[in-house]
Amino acid sequence: MGLSITIPSDFDHLPYLSALSIAENVNVTGTIPVSLAKLKELNSLHLSLNSY
């Protein structure tokens, strides 16, 4: 079954986010937000083993 989520588009309030993991048995809907590209400290984005 798992968790069903939509990745939010507003990451402006998390400027020091360095890692984000949404992996394994998650049903992700929507798209990966462009705002993630603006996070200068983000060095790890883990989205593997999901249903899209």
pLDDT score, position 52: 60
The reported pTM is 0.70
pLDDT above 70 covers a percentage of the chain that reads: 90
Bridge partner list, 26:
3
| Residues 6, 12, 18: CA angle, nearest 5 degrees | 80
Domain boundaries, the chain: 3-46
Residue range 29-48, pLDDT digits in tens: 778 888 888 999 999 998 88
Distance CA 50, CA 52 (A): 6
